[in-house]
Amino acid sequence: MRVREHAGITDAGRRRRRNEDSFVVDPPFFVVADGMGGAQAGEVASRLAAAAFREYHDADDLDGERRLEAIIQEANRRIFERAQADTAAEGMGTTVTAALVDGGSVAIGHVGDSRAYRVRSSQIEQLTQDHSLVADLIRSGRLAPEEADAHPQRSVITRALGTDADVDVDTFTVDAEAGDLFLLCSDGLTSMVTDDEILDVARGSENLDRLAKALVKAANRRGGEDNVTVVLFALDEGEPGLQETVPMTVDGHGNASDLEDTLSGLEVPPHVRPTPPSEEVAEAREGETAIGWTPLPERRGDGSPARRGRTRPRRRLAGVSIVLAFAAVLLLAAFWGLANAHFVGAEEDGRIAVYQGLPYDVGGGVSLYRARYVSTVRAAQLSQDERQRLFDHDLMSYAAARDRLARFETEAVP
């Protein structure tokens, strides 16, 4: 297999001032890294991971998976050492999702919640498993997959590069066929855009550069709450050596400044737009108006709203009462919960913590909980099994929650 075409792009998104993502497009290597940590530490961590790939030149007698494992372990060592040496960088870490085109197959190395996908015959398949708190909760049946996107701790990862001297790396190999398209991306894309929507955008794009930009644009249209990075490569029959030399793109940061200009001519297909709440859909359909964010009632020639608009008030009133009653119940539950309930979770940097309140966001950045105690033990130091038992969302007293953590705090090796 040879790489027929490739593209890479990163964008800060709409909410973040900094971009902590990095990427490498350097065939046969493709990498996405999503950094975390205070000040500029997240950027440092993801750049160190990217640099480890760029500087790697030997040991190609190893198979693809073992090469990826070796580079990722080297990256981990460098980030961990930097974090130890520099107090400002303490606790920094990064995800890494890397692909290596290796003959007729593609090797994948993976830590964290960035993802690798393969698109083949109009199907999209997620190749990697997220190492994240919500993924653990889904696997143990505590959280429905559709609840994951709204979970307040959806960005907590349970494995990262740089937080410990050793890291568990997932490596595996998938077969490759001519026409396969591979996508590596940070969670800034997948938390905003569904897999099916990614597939829809892919179908409508004429080349990988435009596809990469269209995906970033789709994430930003949904709110762009996080840095978005997209790396793409398409495979073809042929010898790797015959590959067309496309200028190497290794800049994980500088490409996005011209995004607004270059993206302005692009349109996200209409079916990729956010689905309006069901009542709005019904209203729009009956009124024969286009479905969009906030469909307006169709107006007649005399300027009065269409028939649908006039027959609605009673139903609206009933609807409003139900919503108000529901809100009151929620509020009461929240007050009770805030005062009495505690649950175990983890902070953005992975440290396990006891929260007072309920594990929900009510929207607009308001959550129903606050951290009451933050441990020095990180989620990454626990086994998958321990994490699943610890992060179960059971509500309990503060003392009981501290008891649960205490066991890990005495056992965990710092």
Nearest distance from C-beta of residue 227 to Ca ion, angstroms: 6
Give the interface segment with Ca ion, choosing from 145-153, 225-233, 279-287, 403-411 (CB under 5 A): 225-233
Query: Residue 342: which H helix or E strand, with range?
Result: strand 342-346
Does the footprint of Ca ion cover residue 43 (CB under 5 A)?
no
Does the footprint of Ca ion cover residue 226 (CB under 5 A)?
yes
3-state DSSP call for residue 8?
strand
Residue listed under structure tokens 């640099």: 51
Closer residue to Ca ion (CB): 183 or 405: 183
**Around Cβ 374, how many Cβ atoms within 10 Å?**
15
**Around Cβ 155, how many Cβ atoms within 10 Å?**
18
**What DSSP assignment string belongs to 54-112?**
HT--S-TTS-HHHHHHHHHHHHHHHHHHHHHH-GGGTT-EE-EEEEEEETTEEEEEEES
Nearest distance from C-beta of residue 215 to Ca ion, angstroms: 15
From candidates 11, 102, 187, 200, binder to Ca ion by CB under 5 A: 187
From candidates 34, 43, 102, 130, binder to Ca ion by CB under 5 A: 34
Give the interface segment with Ca ion, choosing from 74-82, 224-232, 312-320, 334-342 (CB under 5 A): 224-232
Count, residues near Ca ion per rule CB under 5 A: 5
Nearest distance from C-beta of residue 115 to Ca ion, angstroms: 11
Give the interface segment with Ca ion, choosing from 27-35, 119-127, 267-275, 308-316 (CB under 5 A): 27-35
The residue among 120, 121, 208, 128 whose CA lies nearest residue 169 is 128
CA distance 64 to 349: 31
Closer residue to Ca ion (CB): 10 or 375: 10
Query: Residue 3: which H helix or E strand, with range?
Result: strand 2-11
Closer residue to Ca ion (CB): 130 or 187: 187
Give the interface segment with Ca ion, choosing from 24-32, 34-42, 44-52, 127-135 (CB under 5 A): 34-42
For Ca ion, the binding residues (CB under 5 A) are 34, 186-188, 226
